[in-house]
Structure 1
């Protein structure tokens, strides 16, 4: 006969073994998980965004397991997929929205899976009743897909008498009446989005999915630049790599709260390529190597003449 202490030890080991078995990752190789594998592939091409990658897996798992619960005759939770994306410009919000649209289409949650991008001017009209109609028309175009409204907080900037309030009211009604026919994503600067949601007590509860897009680090931005140039069949000279880092530290320190991340990188590189073109034209060097190399001077000229942050 085992002593009581021995029994406890055995039970603990059994529980530990069960927990170990449950925590072992199961590869999502089944054909049923093809939509998620596509999402993983698309997200893996993006630099950083670890929180968003985890979030997308959670959304997929939640939707998939709800289907399984339904098939087993179990109660399933109400699947409201309206989202808030909080982050500075150039942090990947629109790109991730497109990936989400593709995933929801492949899972049968959205019929079309297209993305409609909008801003205040696309929703707000010039007279009473015009705004509601413009907003309804935009929602109609979005049915079966995602309506992505950037700088959504601008809808509340004019106060009670502004037509933006009419757009918000129309959106809220559509979220209730047609909640399974489209997904609404509101995006914008973190602080402004928090203030916007606090202005209407009914808004926060209608957006159960909220995720932050942090600014990229200098190292991540450098990787984005290298990848971008590689896609364009250019590359940085060794000295240009060091110069790029110095520029990024300077620009982030200049106004980090409104730093435009990936957008800044694209603008900088596009201007650097134009400076490279002038340099090669004047030197007459059209060799294959020269045509691909971006030098430190190209970056310096691009940044010093146009110290853009947006």
Structure 2
């Protein structure tokens, strides 16, 4: 195992367990993460009994899904799982956009975001292939179905090096409501999203209905969870001055105003 200190291993294990359990939506992917975690725990028990445990080699993945569906969150968790399993020497996640020069993942996981408007250069593609063949890091290509298909068709040498594909479906209105509740529960005064709480009128069901009624489907599909920060900010703007709670009425106005801002930005 990469993590030789038992206390450190247990700390990382508890942290990853919490992160997996806190995932909203992505039910099938969550099951796969839990399965990987169980295998890691089993291998650690075998190692403690003196059995020889050979960690697998790093492998590479494709994450297919629209914006805001949790690709970065899952990549971060997988990086930690691979570290605990001894696949990687570091649990760090390095992110880059397609046009950027490839960054050194330092034995961790490299998340490369593919965008139709921001394609990977041929030089970067060659660097990615070289990094994959070196075998010290795991690389994840992430993007929507159209962007990834266009890119893979033109780069078969790269495509053949990926062994796993995960599908990130759009979040439901109930999923979005649960994420919004989690965001609103963050304590602190450090930014515009902290320091307020939802009052008792803001149940998961009522928030989900509000999102369903006041946001168009095409907008939710384009942005998913990326919608929510702006909606909370807008709800706080219309709250009673001096109050530290957001009512359902405030939230309805915030959802509507936030949706209008994104519709104008995206010309929807």
Whether TM-score is above 0.5 comes out as: yes
Asked if 2 retains the 8 angstrom alpha-carbon contact of 1:244 and 1:299, the reply is: no
CA distance in 2, matches of 1:243, 1:220: 10
The answer on 1:146 being equivalent to 2:109 is: yes
* Equivalent residues of 1:82, 1:184 under 8 A apart: yes
Long gaps (5+) in structure 1:
1-29, 124-134, 157-162
C-alpha spacing 1:198/1:65, structure 2 compared with 1 (3 Å):
farther
The 5-angstrom pairing of residues 151-162 of structure 1 reads 151=114, 156=119
Select the structure of larger CA radius of gyration: 1
In 2, the alpha carbon distance for the partners of 1:187 and 1:262 equals 16
Deviates more, 1:248-257 or 1:185-194: 248-257
CA–CA distance in structure 2, aligned partners of residues 306 and 50 of structure 1: 27
Structure in which a larger fraction of residues adopt helix: 1
Q: Distance in 2 between matches of 1:238 and 1:93?
A: 31
Q: Distance in 1 between matches of 2:52 and 2:181?
A: 51
| In the alignment, structure 1 residue 248 sits paired with structure 2 residue 212 | yes
Question: For residues 171-224 of structure 1, what are the alpha-carbon distances to aligned partners after superposition, in whole Å with 9 as ceiling and x for unaligned?
Answer: 112211x21x11111111123212322222222221101101111111111111
* Counterpart contact for 1:273–1:294, Cα < 8 Å: no
Structure 2 counterpart of 1:296: 249
Give the 3-state SS of the residue equivalent to 1:122 in structure 2.
coil
Name the SS of the counterpart of 1:231 in structure 2.
coil
Aligned counterparts of 1:171 and 1:155: Cα–Cα separation in 2: 16
CA RMSD of aligned residues (A): 3.4
- Please give the alpha-carbon distance, in whole angstroms, between the structure 2 residues aligned to 1:192 and 1:293: 39
Query: Shift in Å at residue 251 of structure 1?
Result: 2.4
Match of 2:175 in 1: 220
TM-score by length of 2: 0.75
* Equivalences, count: 245
CA deviation profile, 1:217-271 (whole Å, cap 9, x unmatched)? 111111111222122451145278636523334424244542x111112221122
User: Secondary structure in 1 aligned to 2:24?
Assistant: coil
Query: How far 1:115 moved relative to its partner?
Result: 1.1
Which 5+ residue runs of structure 2 have no aligned equivalent?
1-5, 188-195
| Counterpart check, 1:201 vs 2:156 | yes
Inter-partner Cα distance in structure 2 for 1:101 and 1:111: 10
Check 1:246–1:61 CA distance in 2 against 1; reply closer, same or farther (3 A cut): closer
User: Aligned pair 1:190/2:145, yes or no?
Assistant: yes
Q: Is the 8 A contact 1:81 1:183 kept in 2?
A: yes
CA contact (8 A) 1:85 1:186 kept: yes
